Amino acid sequence: MTDAIAAVGRRALEVLRILGHHATFFLDILRACPAALRRPYLVVAQVHAIGNLSLVIILASGLAVGFVLALQMYYALVTYGAAESLGLIVNLSLTRELGPVVTALLYAGRAGTSLTAEIGLMKAGEQLAAMDMMAVDPRSRVLAPRFLAGIVSMPILAILFSSIGILGAYVVAVLLIGVDAGNFWSIMQSGVDVRRDIGNGIVKSIVFGFICTFIALYQGYEAEATPEGVAHGTTRTVVISSLGVLMMDFVLTALMFSTP
Amino acid sequence: MGKKSVEMLVGIFVLLGLAGLVFLALKAANLGTFSSGDTYTLRAYFDNIGALKVRAPIRSAGVTVGRVASIRLDPKLYQGVVELAIQRDVQFPTDSSLRILTSGLLGDQYIGVEPGASEKMWAPGDEIKQTQSAVVLESLISQFLFNKAADAGSTAPAASAPGGGKK
């Protein structure tokens, strides 16, 4: 009996310890950010590594999602004679939900894993320790530029995902199916609000960029300095980022869109 | 890869993102068509607003001239108070009237403005009482049925039940 209670206590303390560790790591990164901003080229190079190189997969997925969304919605809407609302539905689902969320999931798989593996191997190869020896703070040299680059890249990627998805829906709906182009755009324009729909979507993607990059960095930095440790860290990056994004998405959606 | 070309590529990436944002804001949303900046507010009292929603359009002769800013219940009169945000360059005579209409059979409801002939114009903040409520389909149908039943009741004894009011 006492053993069981002690086990519960041990688990609770362990959870608290991990949370505290995340928090202090987060504060360390924040403190290192000004130093990273003084050398902007470090951030630019990371935006290239995180953002530019993720562009192809984001654009391809956005186009595919736009195509499929337009096709599926068309079959549902045409039954009610509302095929012209296709653009509105595609736009709202992309800018509000699918754009930020799918981009974040792809980002966790494409960029988050590479961040974790890179930093984990740097740690395994004792490069981070070597930096420390040379009085170069690895947090401001390695972690902070990647963190800032992630927060910058994610909203851009999400915007591009939504835009190309809408263009894809236009191709399917107007060019292939033959929905009226004027109605497609005008119903979309009258139903979508810049601040409420597009603005909130961008806020979401900034939050997701924050979550995904932070988790990737933490898992890399705290990975065990062995091949298995890096592999575990990479796996955990994808799992924790995805779950965190989906949970946070529910919270943000409830906060942003619960009132009509 | 050189420092210059990396900066170049990142610059293209950021510009692409801005272009996407401009596309979303101007082509895929309502930023270009109707800005909420230069409007004035009127307050209209309706007995029944039906399914009118905030941000529903206000139309005159079919042209959108404003949007519904807010809807609440007047606790004393038990009437719906609808605040209208109308474009500043559009003005209506004081004897105009407002109706809640429906676009299409199942479409959204909007407020239609029927202009009057007065010389004086509505000023910002005016209260409007010349309104016509939304048509509630249920009351319309029950009215129709009652009329039908009344007709059947008056004609049935005269002609020996030609089958009009029979079940």
Give SS3 for A8.
Answer: helix
Residue span of the structural domain in which A189 resides: 2-256
| C-alpha distance from A195 to closest chain B C-alpha (Å) | 9
Q: What is the tens place of the pLDDT at every residue in B101-158?
A: 887 666 778 889 988 888 888 888 888 888 888 877 788 888 889 998 888 877 765 5
pLDDT of residue A243: 96
Q: What is the tens place of the pLDDT at every residue in B18-70?
A: 999 988 888 877 665 555 567 888 899 988 888 788 778 888 888 888 888 88
pLDDT of residue A11: 93
pLDDT of residue B161: 47
Lowest mean pLDDT segment, chosen from A157-171, A203-217, B79-93, B149-163: B149-163
Q: Which of residues 57-86 of B touch A (CB under 8 A)?
A: 57
pLDDT of residue A241: 95
pLDDT value at B162 more than 80: no
Q: Cα–Cα distance between A140 and A153 in angstroms, integer?
A: 19
Query: What percent of chain A shows pLDDT beyond 90?
Result: 68
Residues 6 or more apart whose CB falls under 8 angstroms from that of B68 comprise B52, B53, B54, B55, B56, B57, B58, B82, B83, B84, B85, B111
B33 with A189: Cβ contact below 8 A: yes
A88 touches chain B (CB under 8 A): no
Q: Name the band, by pLDDT with cuts 50, 70 and 90, for residue B166.
A: very low
B6 touches chain A (CB under 8 A): yes
Q: Cα–Cα distance between A235 and A228 in angstroms, integer?
A: 11
Residues 6 or more apart whose CB falls under 8 angstroms from that of A17 comprise none
- Chain B: residue nearest A149 by CA? B10
B148 touches chain A (CB under 8 A): no
B16 with A91: Cβ contact below 8 A: no
pLDDT, average across residues A12-27: 93
pLDDT, average across residues A165-192: 87
Contacts of B36 in chain A (CB under 8 A): none
A198 with B54: Cβ contact below 8 A: no
B8 touches chain A (CB under 8 A): no
Q: Cα–Cα distance between A211 and A240 in angstroms, integer?
A: 9
DSSP string, A139-190: IIIIIHHHHHHHHHHHHHHHHHHHHHHHHHHHIIIIIII---HHHHHHHHHH
Q: How many beta carbons lie within 10 A of that of residue B20, not counting itself?
A: 21
Contacts of A189 in chain B (CB under 8 A): 27-30, 32-33
**What pTM does this model have?**
0.75
B16 touches chain A (CB under 8 A): yes
pLDDT of residue A218: 94
Q: Cα–Cα distance between A100 and A87 in angstroms, integer?
A: 18
pLDDT of residue A164: 95
Q: Cα–Cα distance between A32 and A239 in angstroms, integer?
A: 27
* Count of domains for chain A: 1
Nearest to B28 among A55, A192, A260 (CB): A192
Q: What is the DSSP letter of A199?
A: I
pLDDT of residue A39: 87
B24 with A185: Cβ contact below 8 A: no
Q: Name the band, by pLDDT with cuts 50, 70 and 90, for residue B167.
A: very low
pLDDT value at A1 more than 50: yes
In the numeric block, the tokens 């676009």 are attached to B103
pLDDT of residue B130: 84
Give me the sheet containing B97-102, strands edge to edge. Answer: B127-128, B39-46, B79-87, B63-74, B57-60, B109-114, B97-102, B131-132
Average pLDDT, chain A: 91
Q: Name the band, by pLDDT with cuts 50, 70 and 90, for residue B1.
A: low
A52 touches chain B (CB under 8 A): yes
Q: Cα–Cα distance between A248 and A211 in angstroms, integer?
A: 9
